[in-house]
Amino acid sequence: MIDIKLIRENPELVKKNMENKFQHDKIYLVDEVKEKDERYRNIRVEVDNLRKKRNEGSKNIGNLMRNNQKEEAELLKKEIADIGIKISEIEVEEIKLEKEIKELMFLIPNIIHSSVPIGKDDTFNVVNEVFGEITEKDFEIPHHAEIMEKLNGIDLESARKTSGNGFYYLKGDIARLHSAIISYARDFMIDKGFTYYIPPFMIRKDVVTGVMSFKEMENMMYKIEGEDLYLIGTSEHSMVGKYIDTITKEDTLPHALTSYSPCFRKEVGAHGIEERGVYRVHQFEKQEMVVICKPEESMEWYEKMWRYSVELFRSLDIPVRQLECCSGDLADLKIKSCDIEVYSPRQKKYFEACSCSNLGDAQARRLQIRIEGQDGKKYYAHTLNNTVVAPPRMLIAFLENNLNEDGSVNIPKSLQPYMGGKTIIK
């Protein structure tokens, strides 16, 4: 959610930002909010004046009674009662307008960073850097599900019976590899100075609407029936929600956190959910990184965070590239975002494994996450998040890049301590 002062003082900037995000159908919202905000502020002034008049009248009643001016006092009482009724009536409209403005503001996208490339959709995303040389295999690489099945490491058929499509059983060395990658990623981030967390896996609606847009919420979140609780789609939701309605001392920042959680996603409208394998699933586990910082430090943290992902993947012998998201591909709350894509030797192309995002103060405004400066003044924090690893999808790239012709899989040195010293899976 942007600062409403932008709409009051520079509505054309907000409209231009919508044009850059190719959300022309939303531009009318700016004028609608501006009009409602003007009415709301006029009402606030009117209510304040009426309250002041009521308070002054109440004091005068006592003076009139002490001077035995009972008739005048009774008339003033009636006038004050009428003022009270009018205040109540106006307050109803005030509350209604405040709610309407907030709902409309939630639909207006955040102001994107000046460095974001302008483009309508993901076909306009820009490859900025490539890391690691691609070594093509001189043998045919099977589908990742076949690799896992040959290593007796996955059972999709049983999962379809118990849970439906988009679920899986991992077992044996593949299950162990999955856990090893998570543990390695956890320690990798701890070594970078991040504090490790295991957060709640369910959150309330006010947190959900604080950390994501309504569209994302509808497409992703599973609602717990009969409860004000949703299953998290990523631990970013719980970790940013942890700061709801808080004021953090400036000298304690930044807060760099890394969190483990299972993730649950409806994947509404997702293509390929029926396909065999673990590329797009309803349930997976993930190691996340989240940073709460001062506004002037957020772009520096953004750069650090996506580079941590690159470093992690390269330590596992996986070639990657950084793909800058264009304006039309940015979710409404983000000011800048990039994907870290891993190389698939089987498909001979890259696919997304991590997404690093700077959300500016959008989440902080929605959740009232504020910082208190040395001078005592309060301002909104900036929030950032990035995937460290999400093993089901990351496993695909790992297996393909470390596969041998005989079907065995090499374990890179960095991961061997987490695999009981194993150097290879056969």
Residue 16 confidence (pLDDT) above 60: yes
Give residue for tokens 């409208």.
Answer: 269
- Give 212 or 365, the one with higher predicted confidence: 365
Environment class of 64 (CB within 10 Å of its CB; exposed 0-12, middle 13-18, buried 19+): middle
Per the structure block, which two tokens stand in for 254?
A: 């930044």
Range of the domain at 64: 4-105
State the total domains in the chain: 2
Tens-digit pLDDT profile for residues 121-172:
999 999 999 999 998 889 999 999 999 999 999 999 999 999 998 899 999 9
Give residue 82's pLDDT band: very low, low, confident or very high (50, 70, 90). Answer: confident
Q: Over the chain, what is the mean pLDDT?
A: 92
115 in a structural domain: no
Give the residue from 241, 94, 93, 262 showing the smallest Cα distance to 178. Answer: 262
Give residue 275's pLDDT band: very low, low, confident or very high (50, 70, 90). Answer: low
Between 191-195, 273-277, 308-312, the lowest mean confidence (pLDDT) is in: 273-277
- The Cα–Cα gap between 105 and 362 comes to 11
Per the structure block, which two tokens stand in for 223?
A: 């609602």
Residue 253 confidence (pLDDT) above 60: yes
Give residue 423's pLDDT band: very low, low, confident or very high (50, 70, 90). Answer: very high
Same domain, 174 and 299: yes
DSSP lists the bridge partners of residue 425 as 409
Q: With residue 386 as reference, give the H or E element that holds it.
A: strand 382-389
Residue 75 confidence (pLDDT) above 90: no
pLDDT value of residue 325: 97
Interacting residues of 238 by C-beta distance below 8 A, sequence separation 6+: 199, 200, 201, 203, 207, 232, 259, 261
Give residue 290's pLDDT band: very low, low, confident or very high (50, 70, 90). Answer: very high
DSSP-H helix ranges across 196-270 = 205-211, 214-220, 235-241
Q: Give percent above pLDDT 90 in the chain.
A: 80
Q: What are phi and psi of 12, to 5 degrees?
A: -65, -35
Give residue 269's pLDDT band: very low, low, confident or very high (50, 70, 90). Answer: low
Same domain, 84 and 159: no
183 with 163: CB under 8 angstroms? no
Give the residue from 116, 129, 118 showing the smallest Cα distance to 322. Answer: 129
- The Cα–Cα gap between 305 and 23 comes to 29
202 in a structural domain: yes
345 with 357: CB under 8 angstroms? no
Same domain, 69 and 130: no
Residue 268 confidence (pLDDT) above 90: no
pLDDT value of residue 85: 87
117 in a structural domain: no
Tens-digit pLDDT profile for residues 110-127:
999 999 999 999 999 999
CATH label of the domain that carries residue 159: 3.30.930.10
Give residue 42's pLDDT band: very low, low, confident or very high (50, 70, 90). Answer: very high
248 in a structural domain: yes
pTM: 0.88
pLDDT value of residue 271: 52
Q: Is 195 helix (H, G, I), strand (E, B) or coil?
A: strand
370 in a structural domain: yes
Q: How many CB atoms lie within 10 A of CB 20?
A: 18
Tens-digit pLDDT profile for residues 323-370:
999 999 999 999 999 999 999 999 999 999 999 999 999 999 999 999
CA angle 400, 401, 407 (to 5 degrees): 55
Environment class of 318 (CB within 10 Å of its CB; exposed 0-12, middle 13-18, buried 19+): buried
Give the residue from 337, 201, 204 showing the smallest Cα distance to 263. Answer: 201
Mean pLDDT for the stretch of residues 404-414: 95
Q: Give percent above pLDDT 70 in the chain.
A: 98
Same domain, 176 and 56: no
pLDDT value of residue 79: 82
Mean pLDDT for the stretch of residues 211-226: 85
Residue 61 confidence (pLDDT) above 80: no
CATH label of the domain that carries residue 54: 1.10.287.40
Q: How many CA atoms lie within 13 A of 79 on its CB side?
A: 16
Distances (CA, A) of 131 to 141, 175, 176, 307, 412: 22, 28, 27, 10, 17
Rg of the Cα trace of the chain?
28
pLDDT value of residue 1: 84
Same domain, 194 and 46: no
Same domain, 190 and 68: no
pLDDT value of residue 215: 73
Mean pLDDT for the stretch of residues 209-225: 85
Same domain, 255 and 401: yes
